[in-house]
Structure formats: C-alpha cells, structure tokens
Chains A and B, each alone.
Chain A
C-alpha cells in the first residue's frame, strides 16, 4: 500500500513570495490533515478535511494561508505572502475516518529568507 506522498520535499523562498505544497493521501482515506511543525516543537494542526469539506481550520492563518482538497483526494496548501515565521516543516496526514489512525507523509521543509 502506497503511503502519503508530498511534494516538493524542500523549498526555499524569500519573504513576501508565494508557495504551494501538494499532498496525495492514501487511497480511500476520507480525512486529510495539514500540520505545521516549527523546529523544536510538535506538529500543530492547520486544517482538516473530511472528503472535500473543511471540518476544522481554526488554527489556519486565513489572511495568508489557504487550502483545498480537489474532488476529495489530493490537496494543496498555499501561503501568500510568506513571512519569516512560516519557516517550518509542513506535514500532510490522512486517515480512513475522523477517529482512525493517522498516517503521515515525509513533509515539506520550507525556508523563508
């Protein structure tokens, strides 16, 4: 069974630029999550989708971050414009349902200069 795929693995941009991350969850998983992990901290949930609907985006900085889940499968997370404090690893995870085990992708490491 293929795991959660993410791309790119690494991205370096300058502040005020835009960036987008892509996630392909495990086939058949209805729930998809985006987490932000700042160096030295645990992951923090940014947004959670159930199929193609958002169920929790309470910690998403909506003035600069946006996310969508196309046809309930792949998802993209966008930052526009980026700030220095957005430097972090962005992790995507998926699960079969809201209370099922989450499986994580390798993450995208973003550096904002």
Chain B
C-alpha cells in the first residue's frame, strides 16, 4: 500500500525567499507524481506532473524533481510571493492494473509568505 508523506507540515517565509517542499513515497513503482495547490475553500489546482521516466519539470518559478529510487520528490519555489500562500499537496499515481491508476495524496504543506 502506497503511503505519501510531506515535510514540513507548515512553513512561513518572508517574501523573496527561495524554498523547498519535500514529498516522500513508500512504493517506488509509480506511474507519475503530481504537485497540486489548494487555496482555502477551493479545489485542487495541478501545478506540475512528472512522469516516472522524467527527473524534473519546470513551470515559471516552480521546479519539481523526482527520484524514484529513493522515493522522493521536491518542489522548489523561487522568489516566493504572498500570492504563493496556499497548501501544497503531492500525489503519487499507481501504475495501473488492479489499482486503476489511483492517486495517493500526502497530507500537504501549508505555506505562508509574508510581505
């Protein structure tokens, strides 16, 4: 059974700092790994999706890396802004078969960026 853990649970930084969010998963046999953002009272917005054959993906100030062998992924946010304040979730997707590509989520990291 896949288990996903995110560290830290909460992070508070001043505007302009670069930061790293960590995600670990117990079963390295994943199809892909996805990072989401969740604003209070809202659904999930997909940020980056890394296929199992890839090592990283970039979108603007965001960079996500994947190390399947060690069961780890990191989300790097450059030059943080107050608008980045949200909960960040990572999710590992099962490869298929009887699990039908199930997503297993971590508990999230609550990020606060102070002006």
Contacts and interface: CB of A to CB of B under 8 A. Distances in A.
Contacts, number: 54
A104 interface: yes
Contacts of B101: 98-99
A91 B100 contact: no
B92 to A, nearest CB: 11
A40 B105 CA distance: 12
Interface stretch (A41-49, A64-72, A74-82): A41-49
Interface residues on B, range: 20 to 34
Contact of B4 (A42, A56, A98, A104): A42
A45 B103 contact: yes
B100 A42 contact: no
Contacts of B68: none
Interface stretch (B40-48, B54-62, B73-81): B40-48
Contact of A98 (B46, B96, B107): B96
Contacts of B105: 42-44
Interface of B: 4, 31-32, 34, 36, 41-46, 49, 89, 91, 93, 96, 99-103, 105-108
Interface of A: 4, 40-45, 48, 50, 55-56, 91, 93, 98-99, 101-107, 109
